[in-house]
Each structure stands twice: as C-alpha cells, then as structure tokens.
Amino acid sequence: MPLVDDTVWGLVVEALQEPERLLVGAADQRRQAERARRLLNGSLAGLEVAAQKDQEGLARVFDLYRDGHAPKSKYLEEKARVDGRAEKRATERADLEARIAEQTPLDEDDEAYILAFAIGISRRLNAPVPF
C-alpha cells in the first residue's frame, strides 16, 4: 500500500502546487448550470401558464353550465380533465424543482476561497522543510 499512498500524495502535491488547475472548468460549469436553471425555470413558468389556461377554460365551461347553456355533466367532465392535468403538472413541477436544486456549481466566492486555500498550501509545500 505505500506505493498507492505515495502515488496519491504525489497527485495531491502536484495539484496543490498549481492551484489554478483545481478550478479548471469551474466557470464553464457555472455558466452551464445557470443556463440549465434558466431553461428549467422557463419550463416551470410554462406549467404555470398551462394551469392558468386550464382554470380559465374551466371557468368558461362553468359559466355556460351556470347560465343553462351546458349540462352539468359537461362541466364535471371538464373539471375531471383539468384536475388530471393538474396532478400531472404537480409531478412535473416537483421533478423540475428537484432538477433546479441539483444545479449547484461553485460560485465565485467559493472559487476564490478554494484558490486562496490551495495557494496557501502550495506555499507551504514549496517552503524548505526544517530538519
């Protein structure tokens, strides 16, 4: 096992001696996550618009029923359809919200902290070892 320990330690030391390498791709990941969040939030907004349209349509059918221009069965049929779509949207909404929560890249403050920490370690690794 000492060979594995030496190999792993060598990789850690190498990474810490070039702290900038630790954050390669972090900015790209942040941009990709922001883009994904925008798309997912757009999908959430679309679900809300669809829910509003369903409610407006149901209200129109109810008005027709109330005014005697449509049978109660027509209203109940439309209400069942709207309720079914609402249940499906609730499932979709939960999925989208979970996917949004997964989009958690490092922010710039986190990156700066990691870089400063790695630079501090790098300086200590490069300092002469007192014997």
Give the tens place of pLDDT for each residue, 55-82: 999 999 999 999 999 999 999 999 999 9
**Model pTM score:** 0.67
How far apart CA 42 and CA 95 sit, in angstroms, is 14
Residues in the chain: 131
Q: Indicate the domain borders of the chain.
A: 2-126
How far apart CA 50 and CA 3 sit, in angstroms, is 61
Give the tens place of pLDDT for each residue, 1-60: 566 677 887 777 777 777 777 777 788 888 899 999 999 999 999 999 999 999 999 999
Residue 104 has pLDDT above 80, yes or no: yes
Closest CA to 77 of 87, 91, 65: 65
